[in-house]
Structure 1
Amino acid sequence: MIKINLNPEKVKKKLERRKIGIEFLKTKTVLYIGIPVILIAGELLYLTYLNVTVSKLQEKKQRLAEERARYKDIEQEIRRLKKKVAEAEKLKEETKLKMAIFEKLSSEKTDFIPMITSIATSMPDGIWLSRLEITRSRSNLSGFTFNPRFISEFYNNLSKYYTDLKFKSTAREAGKNVSYYSFSFNMGKWQVAEKEKKE
């Protein structure tokens, strides 16, 4: 039997429906399989990204820990150096203080040699000194002689060098075989004699 299709449009529609159905099923299959595959791939990419980020952060954390340890070492070194600097500053201040004291002493230092020379040149023959004390401000001397005239001559000679010259004591004393005169002077305000100033 031969079939004749008197309505070819119906067949075309059925064929088109079948084609659409297959294509639709193919599209559904692609969607049902493709979307989860894409989501899984996206998750895998995201997890990979997170793993890379985590590993970078761990490396950074380790680097920071190493830098912190190095920083602590450097901080200890800085503290040690600060301590040394403080000690050096203290030593510097002590040295400055010692130098200032030394300079003050050397500037205040009175040269006693001119004083001693003035006493020695003022002393006439026949006078012996038993004690001589010389300080910056005052001087004391004691001695003896056989002739009291030498005491007054010595006093006059010393008055050229000392503006504040006083007899402390004068006494006649007797020894075993001989008598002599002992004397003491208090002297202050030493000055250079006029003859020495002119020279």
Structure 2
Amino acid sequence: MALSISVVVLFAGLVALLLRNGSLRPWPALATALFGFFLASTGLAAPINTAAHGITALIGQIDFRPGGTPDMTTVTVSHGSDFFGVDVFDAAALRELAQYLPGFLPAADHPPLTGLLSSAGTGQQHVDAAQAGTLAALLRRASTARGLKKQHSALAARLGIAAATAARTGQSWTWTTETEGEQA
């Protein structure tokens, strides 16, 4: 079961709790809130937002079930939003996205993207910068399509950002497969 909560609501609750138990005084709380409000309108807002998304994505990938998930295949995508510049996705989720995209993209446009997504988890993939730019546009279009499930939309948006970053830097967009839990 996935839990989704706004970061603003989370921090508002934390501040209210700290104010209530006396760990935080009202004036310093107000000063900190104003600092955050004005910081959001500076050039630091985008890097802070990117770092927060990377952290939440990392937390979202943690498996809290006892014993974990055996033999889980993941795909590490270059030019991602985490600290190391990569994103890690479940290969099955990428292949599932490939099944939904033909219903949301023009028939002439989706084959290169659905082909890449369908082969997720089968080995290393390299996409040149020009092709990454084309795929970024398709992924962004898919992420805003009405009717696409929220998890697929978020996945397409993250992939679109990574592809656009690869295209903007003129570098190859790389997908590397890793399997966790393999028995030797």
TM-score, normalized by length of structure 2?
0.22
Larger Rg: 1
* TM-score of the aligned structures, taking structure 1 as reference length: 0.21
Which structure has greater helix proportion? 1
> More relative contact order in 1 or in 2 (CA 8 Å, sep 6+)?
2
**Which one has the bigger strand percentage?**
1
